Amino acid sequence: MLKLTLLSLSVFFSTFLIAQQQSFHGGIKLTNDLTFYHGWAGGFGALAIYKLGKHNGIESGIYYTNREHWLFLTPSAIVKGRQKRIYMPFLYRYESKVLNFTTGPILDFLAKWEVSEKLGDPNLIDYSWNTVDILSSVSVSKSIYISNRISLEPEIRFNYSFSEKDGSAGINLAISKQLF
């Protein structure tokens, strides 16, 4: 995990050295993730894309997600609840006319855990979550230009948490505008 983070940071900083055609795009993204173990998680957030060259850039932002969980702690103790999380990606972005690719780490913060239903032994309801996690992420997207400065971008993304041993696959949709 440390090697992946160091590699991502080195790619992030090295792109500043080769900047040719810089621009900044801001927008919104609707996220729609299906996790391996914990179900569907819808979300939304603010998107920022820093183009540092013709093909290279950085994608970041801040996103909110609301995920329902069924936890089977023991055969006789089941908990249903919701995790509200905030995450911030720090992704290397490669753009081409055909497809765009991103990869890198995501900082994931637990904002709130709400228990909505308890089945079985109420003494077994305590379950500790990682309040901060680092995910690995990779995506493929396609920029569809509505005008010279506005684009619509459908995306397929895969995230994985090595500490939780859980991942997600999602189909997301972003709209962004070149601000400068």
11's torsion region: left (phi>0), alpha (psi -120 to 50) or beta?
A: alpha
Q: 149, 177 in Cβ contact below 8 A?
A: yes
Return the amino acid letter for 137: S
115 and 73 in contact (C-beta within 8 Å)?
A: no
Dihedral (CA of 153, 109, 5, 164) sign:
negative
The per-residue pLDDT for 94 is 97
Question: Domain residues for 140?
Answer: 2-178
Please tell me the predicted confidence (pLDDT) of residue 67: 83
pLDDT at 10: 62
Distance CA 59, CA 171 (A): 17
pLDDT along the chain (180 residues), means of 10: 61 53 93 82 95 94 88 72 91 96 95 79 61 94 96 96 86 95
Q: Which two tokens stand for residue 151?
A: 């684009």
pLDDT score of 125: 52
Q: What CATH number does the domain containing 162 carry?
A: 2.40.160.20
Task: State the distance between the two ends of the chain, measured CA to CA, in whole angstroms.
Answer: 35
The predicted structure's pLDDT at residue 5 = 62
Distinct helix (H) and strand (E) counts, the chain: 1, 9
Confidence at residue 19, expressed as pLDDT on a 0 to 100 scale: 46
Q: Is 38 helix (H, G, I), strand (E, B) or coil?
A: coil
Residue 120 confidence (pLDDT) = 73
Q: How many domains does the chain have?
A: 1
